[in-house]
A and B are shown apart, each in its own frame.
Chain A
Amino acid sequence: MLRVVHYVNQFFGGIGGEEQAGVAPRAVDGPLGPGQVLQRYLGNDATVAGTLICGDNYFAEQQEAASRALLGMLADARADLLVAGPAFAAGRYGLACAHICAEAQQAFELPAITGLAPDNPAVEAYRRTVTIVPTGPSAASMSQAMERLAALGLKLARREPLGPPDEEGYLAHGFRRNTLVAANGAQRALAMLRAKLAGDPYTTEIALPTFERVPAAPPLADLATATLALITSGGLVPRGNPDHLKSHVADAYGRYSIADRAELSAEAYEAVHGGYHTAYVNDDPHRLVPLDALRALVHEGALGGLHPTLYTLAGTGTYPQFAERMGREVAAELRAAGVDAAMITST
C-alpha cells in the first residue's frame, strides 16, 4: 500500500489560529483534519501514514530550517507521495505548500502535489516545477480539491504520466509535450478556424504567454531635487566584460559604479550585445548611456543627482520570466536607495 504524507499549517493541523503561526515543524501519525478527507478519496489504494504541521510564520521566516526539518520527517515517514494543503488563496500557507513540494521532489525525487487558488502568489513562482490542482479561494472547496489531489497524487505516486492539464485538472506547467494525433496541422488549424467563425468553443495548441502589467510611476514634481538611475539594455560593460554577461538571452544583469566617472570613455567601456552593430557605441559609449549630458545637467542644477550604479544587460531574446525577476530586483534596490526615477536606454 502506498504511504502518503500530508502537510498542513497550524490551523488545519488543529494547533490554533494566527496566534500559533510561529510553531515549529512537527510530525504526527495518521491523518488529521483535512487529511481524513484525503484518506476518504485515496480509498484502499493508499494510506495517510502521517501528517506534518508547521506554523505559517515559522515557515515564512525560517524557510531553510523549516524545509530541513520537514524533509527529515518526510524521510522518516518513508513516504511514496507528499500532498500539501490545499492552501486555497492563503499567501504564506500557499508558499509553504509549494516550496515543500519542490524541495521534496528535488531532495528525494518524491512525487508531490498541492492545491492552490489560481491567483495564489505561489502559483506563478512554482507552477513550472510543482503539480498544482486549482481550488476555490476558501476551504469551501476542500472536498472537490481533495478528490482531485487524491486522484492525481496516486498517478504521480505510481509514476504514471499525467495527461494534458485541462483534461487532468491541474495548472499547466508551462511546457509542451509532443504527442501523435490523427489529423495533421493544416486539418487541425482549419477545424479551429471553422469553430472560431461559427462561434463554437475551441482550444488553441499554442497558448500565448500573459505578461504582467506594471502601472506607470507618477510624474516627478521637481527634477532639480530628483535622483535619476541609469539602466541600459544595450549591453554596456567595462571593457573585457569582467562578469561575462551574455550577449543574448540574458539571465543576469551587471551593476557597475559610475560614481567617480565624469564620462564613459571608449578605453574603459564596450558594448556586448548580439542584437545590434556595437561599433558606434564602442567608439563613444555616450551614444548609448548619456552620462556626459546628465553630468552637465546635474552641474547646472537642472537635475538633482545620479544614482552611483549603472545597471546593464544585453536585451535580446530575454525570457519574460527572467526579465520580470531582474526588473523586480533592480526596482527594489533603486527604491531602497531613494532613487526617484530611472532612464532606460534601449537598442
Chain B
Amino acid sequence: MHVNRVFPGVAIPHILGNPTLPSAEERALRRALTERALGLLTQPAGAAAEASRA
C-alpha cells in the first residue's frame, strides 16, 4: 500500500541529518527533507504519489 504521509529519513540514528556532511550541507539536507514533509501535508493521504517524485 502506498502511504504518502510517511517517508524514510537518512538513517535510523540521524533521520534528518548526515554527520559525514559539512554543517552547511547537512542543514540544507534537513531543510529539503522538512520541506518534503510539509508538502505531503498538503496532499490527500494515500491518494497520489508526490508530484515531484511521480
Contacts and interface: CB of A to CB of B under 8 A. Distances in A.
Asked if chains A and B come from one complex, the reply is yes
B34 A219 contact: no
B17 A297 contact: no
Interface of A: 216-221, 223, 226, 228, 234, 276-281, 283-284, 286-290, 292-294, 296-297, 302-303, 341, 343, 345-347
Nearest to A287: B17
B15 A287 contact: yes
Which 5 residue pairs are nearest across A and B when measured between Cβ atoms? A216-B45, A287-B17, A293-B34, A287-B14, A280-B14
Interface in B10-38: 12-17, 19, 27, 30-31, 33-35, 37-38
B44 to A, nearest CB: 5
A30 B46 CA distance: 58
A288 B30 CA distance: 10
B27 to A, nearest CB: 7
B54 interface: no
A223 B41 contact: yes
A219 B15 contact: no
Given A216-B5, A218-B44, A290 B33 contact: yes
B15 A345 contact: yes
A137 to B, nearest CB: 32
B45 A290 contact: no
B15 A293 contact: no
A8 B11 CA distance: 57
Given A277-B13, A279-B13, A216 B30 contact: no
A219 B41 CA distance: 5
Contact of B42 (A219, A276, A293): A219
A293 B30 contact: yes
Contact of A276 (B12, B34, B41, B46): B12
Given A286-B30, A297-B34, A280 B17 contact: yes
B34 A346 contact: no
A35 B43 CA distance: 56
Contacts of B38: 223, 228, 297, 302-303, 343
Contacts of A276: 12-13
